[in-house]
Structure 1
């Protein structure tokens, strides 16, 4: 039997000789202990994955997520309570504001709409800020960041801001209001709505025309409602052989008993011009409701034509008269012989 030196046996059996390298097992164990003790170190996380200790890694991630969720529960509850309290306050103040605006007869509908929308935006921003504050968000830094972002957005949304400012200008200057009959760019219609960005006009064809507020400020706008009465001109003409006074006596009785006409302004019939083929005349009536303008014009144009025909007053139309004098080249022509002439 070959004897083995005792020193060798001691070296082999020594615990120190059986230990792994510090760069392997010790490093892995240290990494696991670090994670399990709540000290996540990116370098140790990498060593943990490199040494194959995936179960410890998964356990630690699960623990961290559970702890984070448990820590957020009070914040979530506080945020929900703050949201409910502020939302109830928002609804109560909104209902009170709506009631006050309805009682205020001097407040224009467009101004009411602007105030309601401004209050709604302000309330939602305030609620969002207060809820974020429950999660430890730095409100001062957030507002500073929003200010910088607002400047950048302002340059990017230049047209939108112009329309917003124009909308406020319209509401304050009041060139027209909701329900007014206006004409802009040759389009006639009723103002249906006025928002912060655009004005909506319902045309006579029952089409909604959406116009940017900057367009309404820069263009000529005719308001037919502001003065309380609008004049409607109905054009017609009579032949030169007729007398305008006779036409006036025929046309004016057509307006009698029409309650749609303004009682303070009696209808009139005037001569407006002497045209090439006719004496141009005009029936002028005033309306309290400007929305009836087109209806009145169409209706009375038809009535005037029927009345003039019944009174045997000629309604002219464009025509030419040709006079031939001294045209020797046509003396031998049969073109101008009367019908039935045997030489024709």
Structure 2
């Protein structure tokens, strides 16, 4: 007992310093864990308010919590005198090796997170992205599943989608139908424009506002091109497009308005010999 007392008296300053370091390490660990939990709850609430998928929220929050806890443990070990440089080097090397091995998957994962967070499109939207045009069926972490108009299921990597322009045809409530109608040069232009205006006005799916535009777009090589630009609801786009083309052809035939074939006039000159 006397030896223990003597040893304590001789090394009490060193023991006290170790004790303070241990207390500081414990405090750092508990504070870091509290911060990690608070940040995880905050991130979870924020993502759920933005209607992010629960599985994605859980995964992202788990990653954030794990990263903060790893940093907290390293700080606590450093406080008690443990050399953490080797641990950091090992973690860095492991992370680099995993990143190189899974760089394609990680790119798709990061792109999936961006799509879910910023929501350039949602399930059910008709889009053109990654070289594929179709309706979005599912948005997953690594890929987006789309259905083409001819009912083919296409799985597109998310990195391919975010790496190119995204056209969302369903983002707006209305769309403009762009039609170019060519008539022959010997047809009555005013009559043709009046017929087109009547066709557009008779279609209940065409919106009154914005007003449809019917203008001469070009005096082409073999036809006078009339631009027809009605506005419709996005869901009615293709119906109005196809029906209008059919009505234009039938009505023009009834009124003798010609729609010319592409043509070229060839003039042959003969040299006169004396």
- Judge same fold: TM > 0.5, yes or no: yes
CA RMSD of aligned residues (A): 3.3
- Please, which of 121, 135, 138 is the counterpart of residue 176 of structure 1? 121
**Within the alignment, does 1:206 sit opposite 2:151 as a pair?**
yes
How far has the Cα of 1:292 moved from its partner? 4.0
Structure 2 Cα separation of the partners of residues 281 and 309 of structure 1: 17
- Please, which of 312, 323, 344 is the counterpart of residue 256 of structure 2? 312
How far has the Cα of 1:202 moved from its partner? 2.0
Match of 2:28 in 1: none
How far has the Cα of 1:313 moved from its partner? 0.6
Where do 5+ consecutive residues of structure 2 fail to align?
A: 1-43, 63-87
Q: Is the 8 A contact 1:244 1:271 kept in 2?
A: no
Aligned residues: 203
Structure 2 Cα separation of the partners of residues 305 and 320 of structure 1: 23
- Please, which of 242, 255, 265 is the counterpart of residue 298 of structure 1? 242
Match of 2:217 in 1: 272
Q: 1:190 to 1:287 in 2, by over 3 A?
A: farther
Q: Normalising to structure 1: TM-score of the pair?
A: 0.51
- Which runs of structure 2 are paired with 1:151-190 in the superposition (5 Å)? 152-184=97-129, 187-190=132-135
Provide Cα deviations, 1:230-258, integer angstroms capped at 9, x if missing partner: 11112220011224322111112223353
The structure number with the bigger radius of gyration is: 1
Q: Secondary structure at the match of 1:188?
A: strand
Q: Is the 8 A contact 1:251 1:307 kept in 2?
A: no
How far has the Cα of 1:148 moved from its partner? 8.2
Q: Normalising to structure 2: TM-score of the pair?
A: 0.62
How far has the Cα of 1:172 moved from its partner? 2.3
- Please, which of 271, 274, 288 is the counterpart of residue 233 of structure 2? 288
Q: 1:239 to 1:196 in 2, by over 3 A?
A: same
Structure 2 Cα separation of the partners of residues 147 and 302 of structure 1: 65
Structure 2 Cα separation of the partners of residues 324 and 117 of structure 1: 73
Provide Cα deviations, 1:302-334, integer angstroms capped at 9, x if missing partner: 2111111111111111223344454448xxxxx
Match of 2:139 in 1: 194
Structure 2 Cα separation of the partners of residues 307 and 271 of structure 1: 19
Which structure has more RCO (C-alpha within 8 Å, separation ≥ 6)? 2
**Within the alignment, does 1:119 sit opposite 2:62 as a pair?**
no
Structure 1 Cα separation of the partners of residues 177 and 251 of structure 2: 19
Q: Secondary structure at the match of 1:178?
A: coil
Match of 1:65 in 2: none
Q: 1:186 to 1:259 in 2, by over 3 A?
A: farther
